[in-house]
Chains A and B, each alone.
Chain A
Amino acid sequence: MDWIAGMWAVFRKDLRVELRTRYALNSLLLFVLGSLLLVLFAVGPQPLTARVQSALLWIVMLFAASIGLGRSFVAEQEQGTVLLLQLNTRPSMVFAGKLLFNLLTVGLLTGLAAGAFLFLLNVEVPAPGLLGLALALGAVGLAGATTLLAALVARAARKGPLLPVLLLPLLIPLLVAGTSATRKALAGLPWIQAQDELLTLIGFAGATISASVVLFDYIWHE
């Protein structure tokens, strides 16, 4: 119980700090909308195939996540609150709380990106359940991979575009399985046809989160 309370406290703290300024959420929101509009202008009015649509949607999502999610640990470093957290909580609580917060952020981001995308490009979805599940599993994998790497990047002296450089090659499996499942959902194929992709997404989320749990201690301790 103690552990869950600690995790919840870290999550609540992050949420409260975020709601004070809404800096991360608003910038992420505008980034997603801006890049979607760019896509819209770049492809023009002709209808796109399901393959191109799913590819564009996932690319916008991955780039938004790789730019927006680095904040969580960098902010702690900048405000000098790392020591406070290290003294008062166990590393796994910090990791779980941050993961939960990132999960919420990625969930909002994914929902917004997918909704705006479907609305702007006027896409019909014959299998909404499959699309929702593929995006949800993709969001979990994305949050799992990003949380640990954000903690890594916060330790680096020269940050710059470090998070996307570290993150994007690791996300290729997620991208391949996610776009494939999304394409099948947009083409209206039955669930059983997307079985491989969904299992890969579950496996990727599981592998990244378990590896993060094991490795996080080594980053967090000085």
Chain B
Amino acid sequence: MEIRIFVLLPLREYCTMPVASPVVNPRLYRLVRAAVILVLTGVIVAGLLGEIPQLDILEQSARNLYFHVPMWFTLMVATIISAYHSVRYLRSGDRMRDIRAREAAWLALLFGLLGIVTGMVWARFTWYVSSGQWWNFDPKQSMAAVLLLIYGAYFVLRDSIEDPDTKGRIAAVYNLFAVATMPFLLYIIPRQLPSLHPGGEGNPAFSQTDLAPAMRWIFYPSVLGFIGLFWLLYTQRVRLAWVQEQLRDEPEL
């Protein structure tokens, strides 16, 4: 005969208490937020009003350097973070890693789009004023569009799978496989083709002569500021996704 023993636990053991989000330390978050607000305000004011060298053709459009180039740095950071968390997900199977990889990929898509738009505007008013052309076959521009297509495909792939574990694993594999072909897309092919960007035909992407000393004081903070902005958005999105995940698991919360 089977004997069942019921143990009465205090009531609070039955309903899982909401756990503090493990995503980010709130003090660090507030610190970075304050720094980003300060730096980006400074960059926008100084970038639009500050002194820049007067060069032919470029003229005032050189100010776009402060906004266009940091988008690409941020895109690279987002890509690396996404790939890193995909590797960790394959190793551990921890749902949090999958969320992080997904949100970093989403932000890579966003910053890549902004990079393409700022670059398009820059090229239109610098090189194609006479023809009024918005899109030109510049290898870096087109390869960036391909990168966005890859991340678009990543999200289509995610949507095609129901089971969350399979979804995470398959998406992580695609993410890493895409990363394996990215050096060709971003470094090898663009350097074999003539380009409007610095770094066409085998040069390093950004050399000493491309950046006037006065512009460095705005450019480098701008890069850091946009990467900081990415970090803020990223942690917020990860926290949101984490909360949604908790709610799905525990509808009573």
Contact = CB atoms under 8 A, between A and B. Distances in A.
B177 A170 contact: yes
A218 B189 CA distance: 30
A133 interface: no
Q: How large is the interface on A (under 10, 10 to 19, 20 to 34, 35 or more residues)?
A: 20 to 34
A212 interface: yes
Contact of A172 (B157, B162, B172, B185): B185
B184 to A, nearest CB: 4
Nearest to B163: A157
Interface string B130-174: 000000000000010011011001001101111000100110111
A208 B169 CA distance: 18
Contacts of A203: 184, 188
A152 B157 contact: yes
A219 B149 contact: no
Contact of A215 (B156, B160, B161, B176): B176
B181 A173 contact: yes
Contacts of A42: none
A160 B250 CA distance: 34
Most chain B CB neighbours (cut-off 10 Å) among A156, A158, A208? A156
Contacts of B169: 218-219
A173 B150 CA distance: 13
Interface in A141-158: 145, 148-149, 152, 155-158
A200 B146 contact: no
A182 to B, nearest CB: 15
Interface in A68-115: none
A1 B100 CA distance: 42
A125 interface: no
B170 A152 contact: yes
A200 B184 contact: yes
A207 B180 contact: yes
Given A152-B173, A211-B176, A170 B150 contact: yes
Given A204-B181, A204-B184, A211-B176, 12 more contacts: A152-B174, A155-B161, A156-B161, A169-B153, A176-B192, A196-B192, A197-B192, A200-B188, A211-B180, A215-B176, A218-B169, A218-B173
24 contacts: A149-B174, A152-B157, A155-B161, A155-B166, A156-B157, A157-B161, A160-B160, A162-B156, A162-B160, A165-B153, A166-B174, A169-B150, A170-B177, A172-B143, A172-B146, A173-B188, A176-B192, A176-B193, A203-B184, A207-B183, A208-B177, A208-B181, A211-B181, A215-B173
Interface of B: 90, 143, 146-147, 149-150, 153, 156-157, 159-162, 166, 169-170, 172-174, 176-178, 180-181, 183-185, 188-189, 192-193
Interface of A: 145, 148-149, 152, 155-160, 162, 165-166, 168-170, 172-173, 176-177, 180, 196-197, 200, 203-204, 207-208, 210-212, 215, 218-219
